[in-house]
């Protein structure tokens, strides 16, 4: 069902891009927006789902996960936590080209943000983990990350009577703390991290004045000649897919993971919500700014046969168009 929905979304996006119109106006022509015609379709594509609320027991697990997310007791040396790399004030990233290990050296890839992950079904830039629980276990045990010893960790946490009471409330059918429960509450917290509403959301819900003229021009490029929407559609602005976008890299990416296409350095499409706060960009942190990202797609990518079919091969943007596209991205 998810694959079918993704294919339908991509078909609609590509059809509108090919039609070259937004709100009944030519993408390259009139600079005004209307609230009818294709605008209504774009608004439905980018509309947030209705918040169904959080059941009481799940809310307790989220609260416990939030506390443990920043708890340095999860690390072997008591000096690191999940929040050491996923810093809230940096969009749950760390502002570094590549994550930094406990020995001070760079890890393999850039720290991805944690917004809007609840619907996702694969994690890491190469998608090698199928759940947030299994993903959380990796840095918990990795020698150059938290490097936790399971028995030592559980003993340390169990000695905290207040924490034991919170665990008992969150897991009323369990008699003692377990690693599975720990990973479960960390995942519950991460699933609760929904990006805040922005000016773009106000436009999506019908406020035509929420975006400036320049931001609207950037949106037209995003869904028009830039072809960005073919991978960054939906309210989360990601297709959750894996693509080769022409970065210079010796990282095999998805091709080294079971199910990946051999020889294709494909990486997961990141969601673009809060994108202005999560620099630098790409799996290797090689693009420092949003201007660099736009320049990459507008002629600086490496041409090779494995490039994603949806990537616009000969995209040309003048200075005004590049500035408009960056201005739009900042509304997210």
Q: Are residues 211 and 94 in the same domain?
A: no
Residue range 221-262, pLDDT digits in tens: 999 999 999 999 999 999 999 999 999 999 999 999 998 999
Q: Are residues 162 and 222 in the same domain?
A: no
The residue range of the domain holding 155 is 56-191
- Tens-digit pLDDT string for the chain (332 aa): 444 445 445 555 555 544 444 433 333 333 334 444 568 899 999 999 988 788 999 999 999 999 999 999 999 999 999 999 999 999 999 999 999 999 999 999 999 999 999 999 999 999 999 999 999 999 999 999 999 999 999 999 999 999 999 999 999 999 899 999 999 999 999 999 999 999 999 999 999 999 999 999 999 999 999 999 999 999 999 999 999 999 999 999 999 999 899 999 999 999 999 999 999 999 999 999 999 999 999 999 999 999 999 999 999 999 999 999 999 999 99
Q: Are residues 116 and 185 in the same domain?
A: yes
Q: What angle do CA 185, 133, 243 make, to 5 degrees?
A: 135
Q: Are residues 246 and 276 in the same domain?
A: yes
What region, left, alpha or beta, does residue 287 occupy, with left being phi > 0 and alpha being psi -120 to 50 degrees?
beta
Q: Are residues 113 and 230 in the same domain?
A: no
- The answer to whether the CB of 26 falls within 8 A of the CB of 20 is yes
Mutual orientation of helices 161-170 and 179-191 as an angle, nearest 10°? 70
Strand partners, 106: 100
What CATH number corresponds to the domain at position 82?
Answer: 1.10.760.10
Q: Three-state SS for 53? A: coil
Residue that is last in its domain, among 166, 191, 216: 191
Q: Are residues 143 and 92 in the same domain?
A: yes
pTM over 0.85: yes
Q: Are residues 24 and 79 in the same domain?
A: no
Residue range 181-233, pLDDT digits in tens: 999 999 999 999 999 999 999 999 999 999 999 999 999 999 999 999 999 99
Q: Are residues 184 and 253 in the same domain?
A: no
Q: Are residues 6 and 123 in the same domain?
A: no
Alpha-carbon distance of 283 to 247, in angstroms, equals 9
Q: Are residues 255 and 183 in the same domain?
A: no
Distances (CA, A) of 139 to 50, 78, 143, 240: 33, 14, 8, 22
* Number of domains observed in the structure of the chain: 2
Verify cis geometry, omega within 30 degrees of 0, for the bond prior to 280.
Answer: yes
Q: Are residues 42 and 80 in the same domain?
A: no
Within 8 A by CB and 6+ apart from 319, the residues are: none
């Amino acid at each position: 069902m998810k694959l079918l929905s993704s294919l339908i979304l991509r078909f609609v996006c590509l059809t509108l891009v090919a039609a070259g119109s937004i709100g009944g106006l030519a993408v390259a022509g009139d600079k005004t927006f209307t609230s009818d015609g294709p605008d209504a379709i774009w608004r439905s594509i980018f509309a947030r789902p209705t918040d169904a609320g959080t059941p009481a027991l799940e809310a307790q697990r989220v609260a416990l996960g939030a506390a443990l997310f920043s708890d340095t007791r999860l690390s072997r040396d008591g000096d690191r936590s999940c929040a050491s790399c996923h810093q809230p004030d940096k969009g749950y990233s760390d502002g570094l080209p590549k994550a930094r290990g406990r020995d001070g050296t760079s890890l393999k890839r850039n720290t991805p943000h944690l917004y809007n992950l609840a619907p996702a079904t694969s994690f890491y830039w190469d998608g090698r983990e199928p759940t947030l629980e299994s993903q959380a276990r990796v840095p918990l045990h990795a020698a150059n990350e938290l490097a936790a010893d399971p028995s030592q960790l559980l003993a340390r946490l169990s000695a905290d009577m207040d924490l034991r009471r919170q665990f008992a409330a969150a897991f009323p059918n369990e008699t003692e703390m377990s690693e599975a429960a720990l990973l479960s509450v960390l995942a519950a917290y991460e699933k609760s991290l929904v990006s805040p509403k922005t000016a773009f959301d106000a436009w999506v819900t019908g406020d035509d004045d929420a975006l400036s003229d320049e931001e609207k021009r950037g949106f037209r490029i995003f869904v028009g000649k830039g072809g960005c929407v073919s991978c960054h559609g939906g309210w989360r602005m990601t297709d959750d897919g894996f693509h080769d976008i022409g970065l210079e890299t010796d990282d095999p990416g998805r091709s080294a993971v079971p199910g990946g296409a051999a020889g294709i350095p494909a990486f997961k499409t990141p969601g673009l919500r809060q994108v202005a706060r999560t620099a630098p960009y790409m799996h290797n942190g090689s693009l420092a700014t949003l201007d660099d990202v736009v320049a990459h797609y507008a002629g600086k990518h490496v041409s090779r046969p494995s490039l994603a079919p949806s990537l616009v091969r000969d995209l040309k943007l003048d200075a005004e168009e590049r500035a408009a596209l960056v201005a739009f991205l900042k509304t997210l």
